[in-house]
Amino acid sequence: MKELAARVLRTPPSPDESPARAERLAKAERMIDLGWSVAVLWGVLRMVGALWLQRASGGYEAAWLLDPVLILLLAYGLYRRSRACAVLLLAYVVVELWIAFHATGRPSGLGVALLLEVSFLTGLRGALLYHREMETAAGER
């Protein structure tokens, strides 16, 4: 229970851990923080776009809010260090942007797409590194 509380609250590692492991865990945390914070920013921007579309069209469709809510849920999963959510977030942005680029016929916004993909890939790498370190720490006990 103590380890779960430390994981959720993101408390610093205990003093009995090696400095090298603490350094690798801190690096993994920074990578995860980059991924989920960019995902939250992207989700909020998509939410604002959906609300603007609702207001401009005068109609309402609940499906417009499905995309931002899914992005925000996956961002929360990445915040909680879920490898599955990190993979799904990366796959979601790749598929969504692929569909958008092929629908328009021109690659507008390619820079933003690459930034999103690199950020989410960094978050995925951080989640994998975090779980690897936690598994080796559990194996040494």
The per-residue pLDDT string of the chain (141 residues; one tens digit each, 9 = 90 and over) reads: 565 556 555 655 565 678 888 899 999 999 999 999 999 999 999 999 999 988 888 777 888 899 999 999 999 999 999 999 999 999 998 888 888 778 877 767 778 888 999 999 999 999 999 999 989 888 876
In the DSSP assignment, the letter for residue 105 is S
Q: What pLDDT is recorded for position 104?
A: 77
User: How far apart are the C-alpha atoms of 9 and 90, rounded to whole Å?
Assistant: 25
Residue pair 122/31 in contact (Cβ under 8 Å)? The answer is: yes
Q: What is the token pair recorded at 76?
A: 């929360």
Q: What pLDDT is recorded for position 99?
A: 83
**Among the listed residues 77, 67, 72, the one whose alpha carbon sits nearest the alpha carbon of residue 32:** 77
Residue pair 41/119 in contact (Cβ under 8 Å)? The answer is: no
Q: What pLDDT is recorded for position 13?
A: 55
Q: What pLDDT is recorded for position 96?
A: 83
* Structural domain boundaries in the chain: 28-140
Provide the Cα torsion 41, 42, 43, 49; round to 10°: 110
Q: What pLDDT is recorded for position 61?
A: 81
Q: Count of CB atoms within 10 A of residue 31's CB?
A: 20
